[in-house]
Chain A
Amino acid sequence: MLKISYPHLGDYHIPIRRLLQDLFPMAEIMPAPPFTQKTVELGARHSPDFVCAPFKYNMGNYIESLEAGANVLLQTGLGCRYGYYGEVQEQILRDLGYDFTFLCFSREKASPQNIYKACKKINPDLTFSVFSRVVLQTLLRLYCMDQLEYFLRERIGFAKSPNHFTSAKSSFLKEFLDTCSTPEIWGIYKKYKKYYHSIETHMPSDPLRVGIIGELYTLMEPYSNHFLEKQLAKGGIVVSRKMSASFLLFGKRDTRSLRCSKGYLQYTVGANGVDSVAGSRQYVKTGYDGLIHMKSFGCTPELNAQPALEQISRDYNIPILHLSFDTQTSETGLETRLEAFMDMIEMKRKQRNEKIRQPGSRHRFHLHKRRIY
């Protein structure tokens, strides 16, 4: 019996689960057990010391799902260090004595033909038409999910009844898992979009807004950033984050990002460094109050981009909070920094508002007075 497992990344385990179910109807699909402190500790114990945190999180996921009985593991890989994860992780797991098949689609191996061949090996009944249909449907699912998520992130802090959005989201994901045809997916997306819009909020006309930029995994896996977005939303702040799976698949264009970050970056700096800089520039131009830059410890592309971000912060006078996460990050320390940051942007906003003269206010322009030194 095939038991296919894969590491977590936010809520994306749901569309991936559906994808694998459609590709391999005879196999049991089991996403890795949910994150706990134990997962992180397990992962950190069996990983090299100063590898970036996503490696450790993935490792923890793999070990726990192997313990739960999985025998096929999935991994992908892109630029930067992520492309080399698969080979090292496989070796470490084999040294630990586990027996499994490791499917790694990294870098050049991630071409559609290659993935199709690998899937065909596991499920000989698979045809290319089914494969392509299922993959396209998954892309659509990812798109729909990310669209709704983006809306939700901006509103969730202002709902009149606090759990309204969370319950709507969980029922949406539940229904989403059972959809099988393309019109159905689109129908559910439309339905929930309407529903989300109908949820009452008490959003002020000019709320504080924070943009989130940085490294992919840390942004997309809420456990790895200690549910930072939730904390921000609790403080009554609009949270905006463009980086998501669908951004990677459909929206990432290096030339465009480079054009957008002109004056700060001349070349690409690996992975999503350019997108961070371009994103921060866009947030600045659309009048955001602050930016939060997140990465895992030692993430080279983001470190390459960081001098440019600091330059932007100086030039446009916008506060940027740089956060670096590892498996050892303390929650309290993070909370303190976040609270201080939120207070700071609020104060900054107040200062700015005080300078704006309201019509009819008592303070007049003292044009006739002249200071004599």
Chain B
Amino acid sequence: MKIGLPKALLYYRYGVLWETFFRELGFDVEVSANTSKEMLDMGTKTTLDENCLPLKIFMGHVQSLIGKCDRILVPRFSRVSKAEEYCVRFWGLPDIVQNTFSDAPMISYNLDLGWRGNEAAAFIKMGRALGKEKSVSFQAYCAGCRAQQQQDQELLRVQSMQMRTSGKKILIASQPYLIHDAYMGTQLQKMIVKQGVIPLFSDRCNRRLCRALSKEISSGLYWSLNKEMIGAIELCKNQVDGVILLTAFPCGSDALVNELVLRRVRDVPMIQILLDEHTAPAGLETRIESFTDILTKRRPYA
């Protein structure tokens, strides 16, 4: 049996865990190709125009996997703890996919508020749906967690090394699925590198520390991913020269959080870049260039 993983949304956070889990269970795994213009067009056609860009990309990925795989993984993420949850968009993912593509062979796991080790239980349940025993699924889940942790720590180490090097550095503060998306964020990364500036990523900082630090900027924030994002700004603001707030049209949580960040964080140069389906690379490049120019010409605080 072949399991398809859409390379969008939280794949950039849990991808290794998912891949290892299914491989350990003895399934083939197919990850969808990098986001391209065609994929985005496919997604735009199947979703409503009002939906956010990451969802459109996600739907494009799902559609590209239909017919190629026996099952497609569409997880649901809702509450992490009492005071923390994911954006409402993640709550409805399985239902959106099911109602849009009625022929999609979907498999899902649900992460909802409950007891500790909730995630493991969800994975075991998913394993049972695939006909695997509890102990086998649990072992696969543990292996997946280890692999994911290893990769996260490796990326963290690389980033902290980059942080210590001399030279101009810019922190890209955004959701992981925007920063690392081949069609959206990677393009931006290349432009930054072209200007001779090192890009750092908000999702490659110490997550626990970030979540705790986010309280310095906003006390009432409850979106997990946004918490980590603004925590990273607080964590890195003395070590970087500038911050790019990358957001997609019309991202619900970013609309509010970025507004607050722009109003409250005053001690580091900051720019907000809004991406949509029609973003032209030339326009983006001009903005990046002028921002890096400002950073180089800017006199340090006396």
Contact = CB atoms under 8 A, between A and B. Distances in A.
A335 B149 CA distance: 56
A301 B92 CA distance: 8
A95 interface: yes
A303 interface: yes
A57 to B, nearest CB: 15
Interface in A47-92: 48-52, 55, 79-81, 83-88, 91-92
B218 A264 contact: no
Interface stretch (A29-37, A195-203, A269-277, A278-286): A269-277
A273 B78 CA distance: 14
A49 B250 CA distance: 9
A145 B83 CA distance: 34
Contacts of B52: 298, 300
A268 interface: yes
Contact of A79 (B83, B88, B95, B110): B88
B264 interface: yes
A55 B256 CA distance: 10
A80 B255 contact: no
Interface residues of A, number: 44
B94 A91 contact: no
Contacts of A311: 99, 102
A353 interface: no
Contacts, number: 114
Contacts of A52: 252
Contacts of B223: 84
B255 A49 contact: yes
Residue from A85, A95, A268 having most chain B Cβ neighbours under 10 A: A268
Interface string B59-101: 0000000000000000010100011000111011011101110
A304 B259 contact: no
Residue from B78, B96, B99 having most chain A Cβ neighbours under 10 A: B99
A51 B99 contact: no
A236 to B, nearest CB: 31
A9 interface: no
A265 interface: yes
Interface string B178-192: 000000000000000
B219 A87 contact: yes
B222 interface: yes
Contact of A304 (B82, B88, B218, B258): B88
Nearest to B262: A48
A303 B255 contact: no
Contacts of A50: 249-251, 255
Interface string A298-334: 1011011111101100000000000010000000000
Interface string B219-239: 111110000000000000000
B50 A304 contact: no
Given A83-B222, A108-B82, A48 B256 contact: yes
B91 A298 contact: no
Given A49-B255, A79-B88, A308 B99 contact: yes
Interface string A123-146: 000000000000000000000000
Interface string B246-276: 0001111101111110011000000000000
Given A50-B255, A84-B256, A308-B99, A269 B88 contact: yes
B48 interface: yes
Contacts of A300: 52, 87-89, 92, 252
Given A81-B252, A83-B222, A298-B50, A88 B88 contact: no
A300 B251 CA distance: 9
Given A49-B255, A300-B89, A304-B89, A265 B51 contact: no
B258 to A, nearest CB: 8
Nearest to B259: A48
B263 A266 contact: no
A18 to B, nearest CB: 29
A107 B222 contact: yes
A268 B83 contact: no
B123 to A, nearest CB: 17
Contacts of B76: 267
Given A298-B50, A303-B50, A304-B88, A86 B220 contact: yes
Contact of B222 (A84, A265, A304): A84
A216 to B, nearest CB: 14
30 contacts: A48-B255, A48-B258, A51-B255, A55-B256, A79-B88, A80-B252, A81-B88, A81-B255, A83-B220, A84-B220, A84-B253, A88-B256, A88-B259, A91-B260, A91-B264, A106-B220, A264-B99, A266-B95, A267-B95, A268-B91, A269-B92, A297-B50, A298-B252, A300-B52, A304-B92, A305-B95, A306-B48, A307-B95, A307-B100, A311-B99
Interface of A: 48-52, 55, 79-81, 83-88, 91-92, 95, 104, 106-108, 264-271, 273, 297-298, 300-301, 303-308, 310-311, 324
Interface of B: 48, 50-52, 76, 78, 82-83, 87-89, 91-92, 94-96, 98-100, 102, 110, 218-223, 249-253, 255-260, 263-264
Given A273-B92, A300-B89, 10 more contacts: A80-B252, A81-B252, A83-B220, A86-B220, A267-B76, A269-B88, A298-B250, A300-B52, A304-B92, A307-B96
List of 10 A-B pairs having minimum Cβ-Cβ separation, nearest first = A304-B92, A270-B88, A307-B99, A269-B92, A50-B250, A48-B259, A300-B88, A298-B250, A51-B255, A87-B220
